[in-house]
Amino acid sequence: MTVIITAPELAEALAGEAPPVLLDVRWQLSLAKAAGAFDGRAEHAAGHIPGAVFVDLDRELAAAPGAHGRHPLPDLAEFGAAMRRAGVSAGRPVVVYDGGQGWAAARAWWMLRWTGHPDVRVLDGGLPSWTGELSTQVPAPAEGDFVPAPDAAGLLDADAAAELARTGVLLDARAGERYRGEVEPVDRVGGHIPGAVSAPTTENVGPDGRFLPPAELKDRFKALGVRADVPVGVYCGSGVSGAHEVLALAVAGIPAALYVGSWSEWSADPSRPVAVGADPQ
């Protein structure tokens, strides 16, 4: 099963007899939101792909910030209820999109896949790739039946991430300067988990925000040490851009787990070691 869908493919699917559930997860980093620069719900109301239901990343795909990071896992009962309100059912495909960066859509994709939905895809390139008309009509989907059933294999906690950095491949999806500890605009301290490899998620896409071809992604991850016989995990700042890297790995046919707490959880604990510089160790 493919994990991404093009805009023409989505248009065809929406016009078919059994259209997918469509979720709009437009979002930007909390710093931008605090400055009043972005309101995903307002953007949705101003124009969305017809039939798309807005999903709030901060409230429905994450719990409130705390000891487990800035975007910890949501309560699964509340997450399931939110997905059912959006019309999500286990037997119906789901397509997710955002404003083009892909991070928020990937977080929704990862949450649904990790909790057992069998058919979820991300619109490659997000809303900017859509050439059809937009709608301001508020969707009223029928209640879905999706019940989350998490897969423990797809999730890492801090201890598991530390172990994977020693025994497998742990990719750090943040910008290289944050990995090296040269700057840290959000968290308590800069640097990276010892043993983690720098792999900025921005390098998984082209200038248009669409994923590189699977063969190019395979080559990229191979150069970072990813092999078929080695387990792979990903972290980022708070479990959002890391989900995008997990999605990129999936495009390349490589399964990977996500450390949702990511650097925002790891760096908040002074007892955990921090590496700086370009060397993973």
Residue 150: exposure state from Cβ atoms within 10 A (0-12, 13-18, ≥19): middle
Angle CA 177–183–189, to nearest 5: 115
- What does DSSP assign to residue 13? H
DSSP annotation of 129 reads: G
Which of 236, 248, 250, 251 is an active site residue?
236
Q: Do 230 and 203 contact (CB within 8 A), yes or no?
A: no
SS3 198: strand
Q: Dihedral sign for Cα 236, 237, 239, 241, please.
A: negative
| Coil, strand or helix at 115 | coil
Question: How far apart (Å, rounded) are the C-alpha atoms in residues 43 and 271?
Answer: 41
190 is catalytic: no
Ramachandran quadrant class, 139 (left: phi over 0; alpha: psi -120 to 50; beta: rest):
beta
DSSP helix/strand/coil, 154: helix
For residue 195, give every residue at least 6 positions away whose Cβ sits within 8 Å of its Cβ, in sequence order, or none. Answer: 162, 165, 166, 170, 275, 280, 281
Please tell me what DSSP assigns to residue 26.
-
In single-letter form, the type of residue at position 206 comes to G
Query: Which sequence positions are flagged as catalytic?
Result: 236
